[in-house]
C-alpha cells in the first residue's frame, strides 16, 4: 500500500481534499493533518468536521502536535499533498518555518527530496505569493493550482473537482477512472 500525507489548510476548495481522501482511503495508507483554519473552511464550505478524515487505513494528527513519527525524515512517505494550500502555509513552508506539523512535514519532504504536491487557491496572486511558489518549485515541490480544465465535457461541480483530483492521482501514481487522458 502506498503511504500519503494529506494536509488540509485554510484556503477555499476543501472539496478537493475531501474528494481526494474519498478516492484514496480504501487503497492507500493515509495520514491526515487539518490546520485550525482548514477545519473552519471544512465546516463553512462542506458542513464537515475534521473528524470526517477517519478510516481503517487513516491516522489523523493535530497540527499543533509536532512530536509525531510523521514529522521525521525516518518516516518514508510516497507523497505529501497540501490541498488546498493557503498562501499563509505556502509562505511559511517557503521560508522554512517548521512550527506546525503541516509545515514540518512539508519541510522534511523537501529536505528528503520526496514528493511534495502543493495545490494553491488564491486569486489574484501577489508578487509575494508568486515568489513563494517559485521558491517551492525550485526546492522540488510540484505546484498544481486548483484550476480545473473545462475541455472534457465537464457538466457539474463534481466533474470539475474530479478533474483536479484525477490529475493529482496521476501524479502520485494511483490508478484512477475519474477522468480519462485527453483525446482530441
Ligand X SMILES: Cc1cc2nc3c(=O)[nH]c(=O)nc-3n(C[C@H](O)[C@H](O)[C@H](O)COP(=O)(O)O)c2cc1C
We find the least distance from the C-beta atom of residue 120 to ligand X, in angstroms, to be 7
Between strands 79-85 and 58-62, the pairing is unpaired
Q: Which helix (H) or strand (E) holds 110?
A: helix 101-111
We find the least distance from the C-beta atom of residue 136 to ligand X, in angstroms, to be 14
With beta carbons less than 8 A apart as the criterion, state whether 120 and 13 touch: no
Pattern 99-138, ligand X, x by CB under 6 A? ----------------------xx----------------
Question: What b-and-e string marks burial along 102-128, b requiring 16 or more CB atoms within 10 Å of the CB?
Answer: bbbbbbbbbebebbbbbbbbbeeeeee
Of the residues 2, 3, 12, 152, which one makes contact with ligand X according to CB under 6 A: 12
Of the residues 4, 9, 98, 165, which one makes contact with ligand X according to CB under 6 A: 9
Q: Which helix (H) or strand (E) holds 25?
A: none
Query: Is residue 55 close enough to count as binding ligand X by CB under 6 A?
Result: no
Query: Is residue 145 close enough to count as binding ligand X by CB under 6 A?
Result: no
We find the least distance from the C-beta atom of residue 50 to ligand X, in angstroms, to be 12
We find the least distance from the C-beta atom of residue 94 to ligand X, in angstroms, to be 12
Of the residues 5, 6, 7, 11, which one makes contact with ligand X according to CB under 6 A: 11
Backbone angles phi, psi at 180, to 5 degrees: -70, 160
| Helix, strand, or coil (residue 140) | coil
Of the residues 2, 3, 37, 114, which one makes contact with ligand X according to CB under 6 A: 37
Q: What is the end-to-end Cα distance of the chain in Å, rounded?
A: 34
Q: Which is nearer to ligand X, 88 or 140 (CB)?
A: 88
Amino acid at each position: 500500500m502506498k503511504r500519503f500525507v494529506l494536509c488540509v489548510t485554510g484556503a477555499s476548495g476543501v472539496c478537493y481534499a475531501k474528494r481526494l481522501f474519498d478516492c484514496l482511503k480504501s487503497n492507500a495508507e493515509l495520514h491526515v493533518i487539518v490546520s485550525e483554519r482548514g477545519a473552519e473552511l471544512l465546516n463553512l464550505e462542506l458542513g464537515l468536521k475534521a473528524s470526517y478524515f477517519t478510516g481503517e487505513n487513516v491516522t489523523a494528527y493535530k497540527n499543533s502536535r509536532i512530536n509525531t513519527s510523521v514529522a521525521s525524515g525516518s518516516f518514508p512517505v510516497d507523497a505529501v499533498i497540501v490541498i488546498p494550500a493557503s498562501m499563509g502555509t505556502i509562505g511559511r513552508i517557503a521560508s522554512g518555518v517548521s512550527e506546525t506539523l503541516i509545515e514540518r512535514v512539508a519541510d522534511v519532504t523537501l529536505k528528503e527530496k520526496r514528493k511534495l504536491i502543493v495545490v494553491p487557491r488564491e486569486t489574484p496572486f501577489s508578487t509575494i505569493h508568486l515568489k513563494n511558489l517559485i521558491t517551492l518549485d525550485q526546492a522540488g515541490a510540484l505546484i498544481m493550482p486548483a484550476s480545473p480544465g473545462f475541455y472534457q465535457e465537464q457538466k457539474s461541480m463534481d466533474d470539475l473537482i474530479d478533474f483536479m483530483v484525477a490529475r493529482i492521482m496521476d501524479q502520485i501514481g494511483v490508478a484512477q477512472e475519474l477522468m480519462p487522458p485527453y483525446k482530441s
